[in-house]
Chains A and B, each alone.
Chain A
């Protein structure tokens, strides 16, 4: 589904953010991406949803070569991904419903199906009664649920979450994490970058640990460095 092969990413001023990174995420998998600040977690996620391009190496997402695709194909690929951020990225001047519907309208979905689809998603994230609220009227946890509902509108094969619980208290964090687990159980892969080692430790999911732009530990591959050296 997602495959990185010897990926290097250099930013113009700051230099190498990723050095020779290789890994795969399988269909329906749940994986944590951990590591200290600046280790390259967000960079990996940005490479997946094509906000950035690799300097070297090969990235395949849903069978497409991420380094090569252009223009409209980028948009089409993003529709197969669900993307969630720490800061929610909701439009403040629209209601929760409209924020979710927006993602459907943008892809040219038929208008008459949007309403029911949005209703179903609101129910799925447990906010059926809050559809007409504006983001400012919702708690952080609720806003993140709306953002997750928006990420799910196009039935993505993978949900990419960059510190989705970074702005939330413990209770809200547990709630969001529970939701991500449910989403994963229904077949959607989840790749989640997080600082929350407590959370990581409490669950049995795969862990990919980064440090200074390299993978230093991968729970499905106990000796990644040895493998890379070969």
Chain B
């Protein structure tokens, strides 16, 4: 009697413990994933601002007349790679130089600041080769004296971006794979713990679908709960670090997507282990 009672209590306690463990493990792997995502997001945000500064400046010969310049500007603005092209007249250049130089403003005289065209490159065309090509095309205009863009800066930026994207993709896949394996393993333990029950269910005529359903549900719930927990942890980390560094948090669709992703991983993991178990007739 006592033994029966103890066993019943134990089998009751065993399942929630295991579930809690798998929720925590999923939360942890999704949290790591999310943390990286958050860093990447913030990185990109900053990065985007820096990237927008990629600019080609074409200095124009003094003798160029205004009309030629205006024509050239609108032509350049129609290049597919170009976001914006703006003429900078001598007076504007002088104005800007004075503002930048502050106290030396009187030293400058309009005559030795050439007029120029400032060209901003569209997003997606900011790699070194494309920027170079656009610069070359602009340099081909007869009245253009000199073309400048931060070649080194563009290259550096490009490299950083490649490395960051590559690392993000690799880590993302790795974390997702680890999470799936963890769920598959934990559900497998539950499946094995209930192997007797499963075999009896099948003996009395339960369909595979019927046997599978509770496990899939468990996997889904585990994944969603893990995802939710991960989001909570992520938000706490964000709030903590956010006190020192201004950060942006995941947008709502991203957060919901993360939880859905957790659920999907859970479903996949449990489907995997139940399928493996049921495959034998």
Which residues of A pack against B, CB within 8 Å?
A: 49-53, 71-72, 74-79, 83, 89, 91-93, 102-103, 106-108, 134, 136-137, 150-151, 153-154
Of B58-66, B88-96, B158-166, B206-214, the one with at least 4 CB within 8 A of chain A: B206-214
- Is B169 interfacial (CB-CB < 8 Å)? no
Closest chain-B Cβ to A81's Cβ sits at a distance in Å of 8
- Is B205 interfacial (CB-CB < 8 Å)? yes
Closest to B1 in A: A137
Among A50, A102, A136, contact of B204 (Cβ-Cβ < 8 Å) = A102
- Find out whether the CB atom of A106 lies under 8 angstroms from the CB atom of B209: no
Of B37-45, B79-87, B136-144, B195-203, the one with at least 4 CB within 8 A of chain A: B195-203
A83-B203, A91-B197, A93-B11 given as contacts; is B3 within 8 A of A75 (CB)? Answer: no
Question: Across the interface, which residues of B come within 8 angstroms of A102, CB to CB?
Answer: 200-201, 204
Question: Across the interface, which residues of A come within 8 angstroms of B207, CB to CB?
Answer: 71-72, 75-76
Question: Main SS of chain B's interface residues?
Answer: helix
Chain B contact-residue range equals 20 to 34
A91-B196, A91-B197, A91-B200 given as contacts; is B4 within 8 A of A106 (CB)? Answer: no
- Find out whether the CB atom of B201 lies under 8 angstroms from the CB atom of A106: yes
A72-B207, A102-B204 given as contacts; is B7 within 8 A of A92 (CB)? Answer: yes
Complex: how many Å from CA A76 to CA B8?
31
- Find out whether the CB atom of A79 lies under 8 angstroms from the CB atom of B205: yes
Question: Across the interface, which residues of A come within 8 angstroms of B17, CB to CB?
Answer: none
Which residues of B pack against A, CB within 8 Å?
A: 1, 3-4, 7-8, 11-12, 196-197, 199-210, 281
Closest to B5 in A: A134
Closest to A72 in B: B207
Closest chain-B Cβ to A78's Cβ sits at a distance in Å of 4
- Find out whether the CB atom of B202 lies under 8 angstroms from the CB atom of A75: yes
Closest chain-A Cβ to B172's Cβ sits at a distance in Å of 36
Closest chain-A Cβ to B108's Cβ sits at a distance in Å of 86
Closest to A76 in B: B205
- Find out whether the CB atom of A75 lies under 8 angstroms from the CB atom of B4: no
Question: Across the interface, which residues of A come within 8 angstroms of B210, CB to CB?
Answer: 75, 106, 108
